[in-house]
Each structure stands twice: as C-alpha cells, then as structure tokens.
Structure 1
Amino acid sequence: MSLELQSKAEALGQSLPALLAEAELLAATVMLGEHGRRRAGQGDEFWQYRAAAPGDNSRMIDWRRSARSDLPFVREREWQAAQSVSLWVDPARSMAFSGDGGRGSKSDRARLLALALAVLLLRGGERVGLVGTAAPPRPGRAQIVKLAALLAAEDDAAEYGTPTATGMVSHGRAVFISDFLGDLAPVQAALTAAADRGVRGAILQVLDPAEEEFPFHGRTIFESMGGGIRHETQQAGDLRDRYLARLAERKDRLAELGRAVGWHVSTHHTGQPAQSALLWAFRALEGGR
C-alpha cells in the first residue's frame, strides 16, 4: 500500500465513526409524527378506525367498534410495502466551500443530512441506497454502515456535480442534495429519467450563508474550489445585486424543474440547524412539504 493510499485509508477510518455517530444523533433529535408507511392499505397490522364513508364495502365495517357509536366505523390496516429510496449527494469540488473557518463545508452538511435521513428510513423498515450501482437500496443496519463508508469516501475532481437516475428503483423515491450551482441541464435530464420510472422525490439545495449574502467588498479574487474558474475585481460590492439576481433566477429554475416532475424543492443553509432540513426531507418523501 502506498503512503498516500494508507493516509487516505487512515483518514477514512477516523472520519467514518464520527460521521455515523453524528448522523445517528441528528436522527434521534428529530421528532417524527406518523411514519410514511403508516397509511391505509394492504397489511396485517391494525392502524386506525375511521368513520365509514360512501363507497366503503360493508365487509370493511368493524361492527364491534360501530356498536359503541351511532356511526359505522371502518377498521383500517397499515400499508406495509417498504419503499426504496435512492440518495444522491454531490461529491464535486464546489461542495467543499465554507465561508467561515468555524463552519463546516456544504459537503459536510450534505453527507450528514443524507446519512441521518438514511438512518430514519432504514429504522422505519425502508430500503435505502445511493444512486448508481455501488449501493443499491437495501434494508438493515449493515446498509447504514455501508452508506456511511461510501459517503465519507466519495470525492469528485469535477468543479460541479452531475446527478444521475442510474440505479433508481421504479416507482421508488429519491433525494438529490447539492448546491446546484453548475449546469442545470444534467439535473433536468436526471429528473426526467427518474420521472419516466415513476420515481418521486425531493431536491435539497445546500448553500453557505456567504453564497446567499455575498458579503464581499473592494478588491476580491473569486476562485472556484477546483481552481478552474477565477475572477478578480476591484469593486466586489458592485457585483452584489447582479449576483443575487442570478442566484434567485437559479433557485426559480430549480423550483420549476421540481414542479415539472412532481418533486419537492427547498434550500438549506449551513449556518442553520440541520434538524429542520432533515425533517423537511423526510416529510417531502412522504408527500408533504
């Protein structure tokens, strides 16, 4: 083993337990209401009683429960078919950005949210995996460890990430997490391919507060994380309005792409608590906002 490879392996071994522990702690802090599988359908477990409605078959009525009321009640069972959820976390260089040395990068937050979401879903009996072929959706604790290892190790030399629909299960669910600051054409292509398979899901844009506020003035050198893009200006403050307008246009375009395929879209800042973004993503997979 080369010294470089050994160094990477040791770094991964140190970061994996920390990432997994942090994700499980984050998942534990999120108070969930009804889990996504808790809805009426085929299954053996009792879910709830509800008042009978026009169109209900008489065989659905629970006469013992109905005898205690003036209205007939239907006994519903819990739908128990597990969902398959595919996650894509942008591994590109742009995600390594942080506008404050005391704040984690966009990549750190994106990986944490993805793994915490996986923890919640897997504990709920769902199947979770990553887009592509490295980790197809699977249930169980072992899958959490595998996902943690892959997320901790994943890195891409590209400036901006490109999602894919490869490996998504037909009629399953998916979550894309990225800053979405690159070309949106591949995002549109991936969403279209996913929609063609009946996949529904959520788009979570993760940005650093500096990218939202543009707190730059005077002489400033802007350089991409990969070094491939560089711009120097003597009056950075003069660019602020144009930059914010372009960012707003990008957000609108991302929301438009989501609406076109029935996916939910939200923006999260790394300066905000992670819990709100995690809860949003979980509820978005269940059809809420």
Structure 2
Amino acid sequence: MLTPEYLHALQNLPLAARRAAEGMLHGAHASRRKGAGMEFNQYRPYQPGDDLRRLDWRLAARSDRYYLRESEVDTSLVVHLVLDATASMNHRDDNGLSKLEYARLLCAALAYVATQQGDAVALTVLHPQGLQHLPPRSDARQQQRIYHTLEHIEAAGRFPDTVTLAPLTARRQPALTVCVSDLYEENGEIEQLLTRLRAATGEVLLLHLMARNELDFTYRGAVTFEDLETGQQLQLDAGQQRRVWQQQLQAWLLDTARRARTRGFEYYRLNTAKPLTDALREFLRRRARG
C-alpha cells in the first residue's frame, strides 16, 4: 500500500510521483479530435487561413472546389493544476502529514500522469503575496519545473484578493483545471475563482482535502484550536463537543459538495490519510471524457 506517509518519507518528489501513479495509466486513452493526422476521416470546405498543404488538389481539379482532408488525431489536453497554499493547508493529521505535503504529492503525481498522457501541464500556486505560475508546456523539462516549484512551496497567509487572481482568468483557453484545496474560505472567494476559471477554461475538477482528524474528530480532552489564517483561538472539551462538531461538519461537507456541483464543478473529497489512488483514478476518468 503506497500510503501518503510512505511517499512523503521517500524525500524524492519525482520518485514519489512515479510510485503513486504506478498502475494508474493502464487502460487510459487519449481523446481524439479532427485535424491533420494520419488516419483519414472526412473532407471539409476550405476556409481562408487554412493550411494549403492539406488541400486535396486532385479533388479540386475534378470538382473545381477546394476541400481539406481531415483526420482523427490523438490530442493533448491542457491540464492546469491550481494549488491552494494558504495557511490552513499547514494543518497536520494524526500521521504527521500536513495538507500541503499531501497536496504536493498529489500535484506531482497528477503532473506525472498528465505528462505521460501527452498533455501540456500548467501549475499555479495561490499565495496572498502573489501567484507562482508555470505556463502550460508539454516538453520534457516541464515535469522538473513543476517538481522544483512544488518542493519549495510553503503555505502562508490568506487567500489572494481578486486583483492578484485576475491574471488567471484574463485569457480564455480550453483546459481541464484541477484545483487542490481544503476549501476553507471567508466569503466564498475560492468558489468565485473557480466559477471564473470554469467560464474561462470550460472544466474544473475540484479535489477537496480533509484530514482524518477533522473528519473523525480524533481529539481527546481539553483542546485549543487555532485558526491558522486569522490566529483566532477556541478552547473546548473534545468529548462534549464531538457530536455537535461532526453534525456541523457533515452539514458543511454536504453543502460544499452541493454548491460545487451546482456551479458545474466535478467535486471529489479526499482523506489525506488515504492513498492518492482515488484522486488519480478520478483525474483519468475525467480526462477520458474530455
């Protein structure tokens, strides 16, 4: 079992990404589109600006009309990985792994899988002080660029403001946007960003990270909780508050999933104590529909 703790303990992000993705590429298929490929599919009328090398000159000589040969070709997607690196991602589970460390492994594995599929991969890290952005590329060195960026990320601060985020949605480009976040927000700012990204790129896969100690409320006795982004503290007795906590958490999770799907996002919740396998399967399933 390739547990998150094991992968993190490797201290080698490229190796961990490859290990996590083992066995996940079997049966994956590239999507297909019409274009200038090898297998003939159909003709279509010439339009100004088309590549003249694709004209069927013999057909033109017979019919006095200009047509292009179209083929089915394997096509790559643009996969845009968007990583929430705000301070709440520093939350640690009972296994000692933080959400950011899990997210780092997950993004590295997704980049590995996407690259193996021939996709162009982009990475954006969301920080309050600015965006770290690697534009989409499919060359052999892009994976290393992504690994290097992920290895040096530190979670801090609150979610970036709309001015900081504006460049992300300024350009419309079809892509599969994969957002990795714990979805802790103050005024719906993550939902707003993803709504704009969906309008700009067309597809959003939202991977919602939750730690096991949050989901199961594994705390005991008197506990002091601190909001990692605001510094606010709350003291409570874990035994007395467990039922109320779990009821409110389940209500929030159900509402979060409902709102995400209402907005048109593909939503998937992940437990950071469990292997990355389910997230990678969900990515491949979503990609196969592209």
Both proteins in one fold, TM over 0.5: yes
Aligned residue for 1:20, secondary structure, equals helix
User: Is this contact kept in 2: 1:177–1:203, CA < 8 A?
Assistant: yes
Between the aligned partners of 1:34 and 1:264, the Cα distance in structure 2 is 19
Q: 1:249 aligns with which of 248, 251, 266?
A: 251
Between the aligned partners of 1:22 and 1:46, the Cα distance in structure 2 is 38
Equivalence for 1:204: 207
Query: Structure 2: which amino acid aligns with 1:134?
Result: H
Equivalence for 2:260: 258
Equivalence for 2:128: none
Tell me the matched-pair count. Answer: 246
**TM-score normalised over the length of structure 2:** 0.73
Q: 2:222 aligns with which of 216, 219, 222?
A: 219
4+ runs deviating over 3 angstroms = 38-43, 76-79, 159-169, 224-227, 285-288
1:171 to partner: Cα distance: 2.0
Matched, 1:106 2:99: yes
User: Is this contact kept in 2: 1:91–1:161, CA < 8 A?
Assistant: no
1:198 to partner: Cα distance: 4.0
Give the share of equivalent positions with the same residue, in percent: 24
Equivalence for 1:141: 140
Equivalence for 2:127: none
Matched, 1:115 2:108: yes
Equivalence for 1:84: 78
Equivalence for 1:128: 121
1:161 to partner: Cα distance: 7.4
Per-residue CA deviation, residues 12-53 of structure 1 (Å, 9 max, x unaligned), is xxx997112211221233243232x33464452559xxxxxx
Distance 1:79 1:239, change over 3 A: farther
Between the aligned partners of 1:228 and 1:218, the Cα distance in structure 2 is 22
Distance 1:214 1:278, change over 3 A: same
Structure 1 unaligned blocks of 5 or more: 1-14, 48-55, 58-75
Equivalence for 1:277: 279
Between the aligned partners of 2:161 and 2:83, the Cα distance in structure 1 is 10
Matched, 1:183 2:176: no
Between the aligned partners of 1:84 and 1:38, the Cα distance in structure 2 is 12
Distance 1:154 1:215, change over 3 A: same
Matched, 1:18 2:37: no
Between the aligned partners of 1:265 and 1:138, the Cα distance in structure 2 is 26
Distance 1:189 1:159, change over 3 A: closer
Between the aligned partners of 1:151 and 1:282, the Cα distance in structure 2 is 21
Matched, 1:93 2:92: no
Equivalence for 2:240: 238
1:182 to partner: Cα distance: 2.6
Distance 1:197 1:226, change over 3 A: closer
Structure 2 unaligned blocks of 5 or more: 1-8, 44-69, 125-130
